[in-house]
Structure 1
């Protein structure tokens, strides 16, 4: 235990490197705005991250063999400290940025980083106007669940891409007995880690990627009368109130609406659709941040999830007393801008302050 504490302390205490100012931000676009070639490039780069021969693990935390597994492990390791807490939004903003960087820098992806929606249906219309950009801008993409919810059926969601030749995320069909996905680029992927960070090394071990589409849960995601009140200026600039509102509707609804492994609080990043969902979730936070001057750097909320579900999901080898001293909040249970975001060797550990402006030097992206 002492050795583990020292190891965790070293990771959490990693210094923040200085980076150049953001002059050419990555532009995040809807999945539906990608060309067929761009979609194919995204899928191939994702498969690359999953392949230990193409993108071998560099840190090998808890026995991870690929960069994809290292992403999943980073989420499993601290599930209680990144959900229903102040760090929910900033941690996942940094996490999706790291995911994008891995796709580009280690697997050669050059297209948009996806969120997906039929653009004419989004209630957040001011994201339609792209920021001024140079011809060399990098594009990324995301899944706009708000627009897909307007199609009334999760079976019709744009991410299933039934009309596309790429079939990236499949058609949404699953095996009736196991809920294993039946088609798409990731149908053969196996999730090797359990929620206690134990890896199944046996041939064919682990579990398949599962989904169980749930219309009722999906309906909580994005109807205008659900999401827009979270954004309302009359609610004020209180981060904690927004956290409870957006965190319990579009965030939870996306996970529960897709179901299967996406319902797993710890292992949901094993499903590639997780990153599209969370990029859209981040887009909504940015919408909230930029709607009032007092919101851009608003922060608060607890550091430790009180919900028993997250206590049960947290790996027993990484208890609360191994985290609080290193968060940078004075050992207390209130999240501040100086709170350190831990990424177990995937990237530098930065503070929440570093994530607050998506156009800042650390994040360096924007939404259209």
Structure 2
């Protein structure tokens, strides 16, 4: 069962669980995992290397412009893939495994195409809940920059409007894809930000994270992380994911093209880190535990033709083709961050990931 009908030719490079090693051969090959560090714990050299690699992707020519003509760079290739697949991987259990694979494809591009040697850094947002504007990730030349600066002030409430990023490593970056759903529309614009500190103070708070981490199973954990959307009263159901996007504002508030803003990647790496930590609490029961209906939950249904049934380990996460995937990557291949060479269950494909988070 595939998530979309687009075939990218591999350019981007059961409801229950099953633990590895239970009656079938398992030969792990993840012996030297890539280490993903919190961004503020990187050395000056490591910060410059990562940020420079992201800018390198922004300067490289696209590989997907035959499918997505609006893409003008390798960086924007990832933007349009996220834009195209947003309706099929949000408000549903595919959110976590799909984004785990998407981050891996992005990290692979940094390492393979821009000579980056480190791991994708994460942003532990709980460290900055008291004052998002003071975060080390958002201040200084070797940072993602702070709040937008300009004349435009968006209206009250959720908005993807904002002001131009005016400082940090990406202050001069131009994005060539307009906000909004697919198909991609060409534009020439700045990166937009519009901080909403009252949202980050609420959703980034350590007690909210602790509540999420106390979820007893995947079908409660995933929506607690991602959030749900009640258009009539969104704030109480935002969750850490949607709340974070709204708190940063601007491009991050547009769910389709939120990765126009590079802060998307360390922000989402933190969500992936929390999932990996939740799994590690009880690996026998949680490492390969999935579940939940494929059809998006809630009233904001952007995928009305979703198939019936629940997400399983062999559900195909098109168009992702993480390294070592023989075809489009499956959920089962994404369940263990150090699962390269490990089978999630008899007859299922071996894992393809090899990284870990440094706390």
CA distance in 1, matches of 2:301, 2:188: 22
- TM-aligned CA deviation for residue 346 of structure 1: 8.2
Do the aligned partners of residues 66 and 220 (structure 1) sit closer, same or farther apart at CA in structure 2, a change above 3 Å counting? Answer: same
For the residue of structure 2 that corresponds to 1:251, the secondary structure is helix
Confirm whether residue 154 of structure 1 aligns to residue 154 of structure 2: no
Q: Contact between 2:148 and 2:192, CA under 8 Å: does it hold in 1?
A: no
CA distance in 2, matches of 1:38, 1:211: 25
For the residue of structure 2 that corresponds to 1:11, the secondary structure is coil
Q: Contact between 1:55 and 1:107, CA under 8 Å: does it hold in 2?
A: no
- TM-aligned CA deviation for residue 194 of structure 1: 4.2
In structure 2, the partner of 1:38 is 46
CA distance in 1, matches of 2:201, 2:311: 30
| Gap runs ≥5 in structure 2 | 14-26, 153-161, 228-238, 341-351
Do the aligned partners of residues 67 and 60 (structure 1) sit closer, same or farther apart at CA in structure 2, a change above 3 Å counting? Answer: farther
Do the aligned partners of residues 340 and 83 (structure 1) sit closer, same or farther apart at CA in structure 2, a change above 3 Å counting? Answer: same
For the residue of structure 2 that corresponds to 1:190, the secondary structure is strand
- TM-aligned CA deviation for residue 332 of structure 1: 2.1
In structure 2, the partner of 1:56 is 62
Q: How does 1:130-145 map to 2 (within 5 A)?
A: 142-145=122-125
- TM-aligned CA deviation for residue 20 of structure 1: 8.3
Q: What is the CA deviation profile of residues 101-141 of structure 1, one whole-angstrom value per residue up to 9, with x for unaligned ones?
A: 00010111123421xxxxxxxxxxxxxxxxxxxxxxxxxxx
Confirm whether residue 11 of structure 1 aligns to residue 20 of structure 2: no
Higher fraction of helix: 1
| Gap runs ≥5 in structure 1 | 1-5, 115-141, 312-318, 325-330
In structure 2, the partner of 1:168 is 143
Confirm whether residue 298 of structure 1 aligns to residue 289 of structure 2: yes
CA distance in 2, matches of 1:222, 1:176: 28
Tell me whether 291-300 or 357-366 shows the greater mean CA deviation.
291-300
For the residue of structure 1 that corresponds to 2:35, the secondary structure is strand
In structure 1, the partner of 2:22 is none
CA distance in 2, matches of 1:77, 1:10: 9
Q: Which of 332, 339, 350 is equivalent to 2:308? A: 332
Number of aligned residue pairs: give it.
304
Q: Which of 310, 317, 332 is equivalent to 1:341? A: 317
For the residue of structure 2 that corresponds to 1:101, the secondary structure is helix
Q: Which of 211, 236, 246 is equivalent to 1:229? A: 211
Do the aligned partners of residues 208 and 27 (structure 1) sit closer, same or farther apart at CA in structure 2, a change above 3 Å counting? Answer: same
Q: How does 1:1-368 map to 2 (within 5 A)?
A: 9=5, 11=7, 21-51=29-59, 54-58=60-64, 60-63=66-69, 64-114=71-121, 142-149=122-129, 152-162=130-140, 166-177=141-152, 179-187=163-171, 188-201=173-186, 205-232=187-214, 235-236=215-216, 238-248=217-227, 249-292=239-282, 293-309=284-300, 311=302, 321=305, 324=306, 331-343=307-319, 348-361=327-340, 362-368=352-358
> Aligned-residue CA RMSD in angstroms?
2.6
Q: Contact between 2:53 and 2:116, CA under 8 Å: does it hold in 1?
A: yes
Tell me whether 21-30 or 85-94 shows the greater mean CA deviation.
21-30
In structure 2, the partner of 1:314 is none
In structure 1, the partner of 2:156 is none
